[in-house]
Structure 1
Amino acid sequence: MDSTIFFILLQDGVLNGAVYALLGLALVLVFLVTRVVFIPQGEFVAYGALTLAFMVNGQIPGTVALLLIVGVATFALELFSAVRRNDWKRLPKAALGTLVLPIALYLLAPYVVGENTPLWLSVVFALALVIPLGPMIYRLAYQPVAEASVLVLLIISVAVHFAMLGLGLVFFGAEGWRTPSFMEGEIQFGAVIWSAQTFFVLVTCAILIIALWLFFGKTLYGRALRATAVNRRGARLVGISTNMSGSLTFTLAAAIGALSGMLISPVTTIYYDTGFLIGLKGFVAAIVGGLVSYPLAALGALFVGILEAFSSFWASAYKEVIVFTLIIPVLLWRSFGSAGHHDDED
């Protein structure tokens, strides 16, 4: 291996690691606030990438109809809850997010989708289609059992993953897609030529991480999420709604997943089931951080990306095995370094 190949592999590893870092951060965030091991995180990666790919090719994505169907189901659950509790105050707000927004996007789609539509507008519209699925899925699958054990929530996550995987096949088909690069050209960095797309992904990931840091440190809702992550019962006692926290957390996770898919789709062909493997690699990064540490998850993600890149050169047939085997020493290290732990059944 000469220096040119080394730096090419390093560039690929850093690019993939930056995306895995975002997914790892989303997984840590969801687990801390809701105790959910969010296996379907990868499906939002695929949904975001495929939605954008359909749009840039002049086709209305299946997400338009999917969002409307899931919205109707979510509103029906809200209506049933309102009738049962005789509490109608939250119904107008629920109708706005679950009916009005999906219908508006459904009617607007034919005017936005087109091969001549600017890429930035396609990205914004694709995000508007995918992000609302996050809180809707939380309302349908997780909120009714929010106080269940971690094991029960994990089983539900597996079920949601398979449901979203099947819906992806139905609404997007089995064909693979790529999207145009956000930036064309190359940048000379020392003795190595890096693609402009790589720098765009790195800068975007850095901006997102800084924005999340500011959100959690400087905003009221961010501090509410932090309080919920530290102590769910204490957060409820001081008036913080854990349902609101869960819904907001899933919104952020959906946004991070969809944007991650759009960032990686110019260099990777995305299929309806591709997001699962990408999400698992983000999960490996989150495991490195013990599902509680954002910095360790980010560092673990970069290591996973670089390990994957060099494994694809030395042993391409076993690169996935090498990456996922990384979980074993991490779990052994953590099991030897920690005492017995009991779930907090609050």
Structure 2
Amino acid sequence: MDLNIALILGQDGITSGAIYALLALCIILVFTVTRILLIPLGEFAVFGALTLASIQAGIPSLIVWLVVAFFIVNTSLDLYAKFSKNQIFNIKIFIASIIYISLIVIAMYTLPLATLPMPIQVLLTLAVITPLGPQMYRTFFQPLVAAKPLVLLIVSIAVHVALVGLGLVIFGPNGAQTQPFSDKSFEIGTLVLSSQTLIIIASFFVMILVLWYFFEKTLYGKALHATAVNRIGAQLMGISPIFAGKLTFVLATFIGTLSGILIAPITTLYYDSGFILSLKGFVGAIIGGLISFPVAAIGAVIVGVIESFSMFWASDYKEIIVFTLIIPFLLWKSLTTRHVEEDEE
């Protein structure tokens, strides 16, 4: 290996690491607010990438009907809760949801998808996939809002398995890549930087700034931050854990979908690629102790770099090498963290 190859591998590793860092952010965000380890996070990334590929091919994606199906299920659950438990049924949200879903279905089947500008294609993909997050939360996790983390983990794994099967039905077994955002490249000495790499890194920093502003300057962001710090205290102050869960899933789904869209031009994704993606983000999140995003981001970049160099030295064992990283951190956390009984939360 010479310096040029090392620079190329480093560039690939940092690019992948930025994506893993975004996924690690989602995992930490969801876990701290809801105590849910979001195993299906990778499916949002894959669904986003494959939906964008379908749009660019001019083929309406069947994923919109999954959104419709979840809406029907959620509405049925809300109506049942209203009549059996006298819970509030928000008619304004119901009407707004009908209008929103109708618009994305009409857009998917009437617009000239293949000839739309790239930004419109991306926005349409985000508009279609993002509602799946809060819909999934309402269907699978909201009834278990007071359950123990182990129960939530089991449900999360079950949802992941179900979404993989649905992904096969909706997108088929073939993989896909999307068109790059730009074909330009820039030379820095002997290193050639692709514009896609720069877009991914820039998107990472933009998302960090946006989320910083959201959590520090907005009321909803402060509510989520309070829930993450002290769920019971936040609830006593009037912050609904259900609302916090739905909002958290909206953010996680949006960021996960965006991550899939960003990485799709540089790698082929299949319906079942999500689990590996989310696991690599999970490694970064574990390095951050499922608490500290800056540490998790650094860990995720390290994961990406090690993965890139492993592909050069031992491509057959790159996944083993990456996932072995989690073992020393788990041992260290086990030895240095005071264990608390789950019932004492």
TM-score range, shorter chain: over 0.9
1:265 matched to which residue of 2? Answer: 264
- Answer yes or no: is 1:329 the counterpart of 2:328: yes
1:265 partner SS: helix
Conserved 8 A contact 1:10-1:309: yes
Residue of structure 1 in register with 2:280 after alignment: 281
Question: Per-residue displacement from partner, 1:49-76 (whole Å, max 9, x unpaired)?
Answer: 0110000010001211111111111111
Q: Please give the alpha-carbon distance, in whole angstroms, between the structure 1 residues aligned to 2:184 and 2:9.
A: 18
- The amino acid of 1:36's aligned partner reads I
CA distance, structure 1, for counterparts of residue 203 and residue 189 of structure 2: 22
Deviations 1:82-121 (A, max 9, x none): 1113344424313432x33222211221233522111110
- 1:8-38: CA deviation from partner (whole Å, max 9, x where unpaired): 1001000000000000000000000000011
SS in structure 2 at match of 1:115:
helix
Superposed counterparts of 1:24-103, under 5 Å: 24-97=24-97, 99-103=98-102
Matches within 5 A, 1:203-242: 203-242=202-241
Aligned to 1:137: 136
- Name the TM-score, length of structure 1 as normaliser: 0.97
Paired amino acid for 1:112? L
Q: Does 1:194 align with 2:159?
A: no
Matched AA of 1:49: A
- Comparing 192-201 with 15-24, greater Cα deviation is found at 192-201
CA distance in 1, matches of 2:50, 2:154: 27
Unaligned runs of 5+ in 2: none
**Partner SS state of residue 341, structure 2:** coil
Classify 1:345/1:174 alpha carbon distance in 2 versus 1 (closer, same or farther; 3 Å): farther
Q: Any idea what SS the aligned residue of 2:115 has? A: coil
Instruction: Report what 1:305 is aligned to.
Output: 304
Q: Which residue does 2:19 correspond to in 1?
A: 19
* Amino acid paired to 2:7: F
TM-score (norm 2): 0.97
Q: Give 1:273 deviation, angstroms.
A: 0.6
Q: How many residues align?
A: 345
**Partners of 1:339 and 1:75 in 2: CA distance:** 43
**Preserved contact between residue 30 and residue 38 of structure 2 (Cα < 8 Å):** yes
Unaligned segments of structure 1, at least 5 residues: none
Q: For residues 124 and 339 of structure 1, what CA distance do their matches in structure 2 show?
A: 45
Q: What is the match of residue 315 of structure 2?
A: 316
- The question of whether the paired residues in 2 share the 8 Å contact of 1:22 and 1:260 is answered with yes
Report the AA paired with residue 288 of structure 1.
Answer: I
Structure 1 runs, 4 residues or longer, greater than 4 Å off: none
Identity of aligned residues (%): 47
What amino acid is aligned across from residue 330 of structure 1 in structure 2? Answer: F
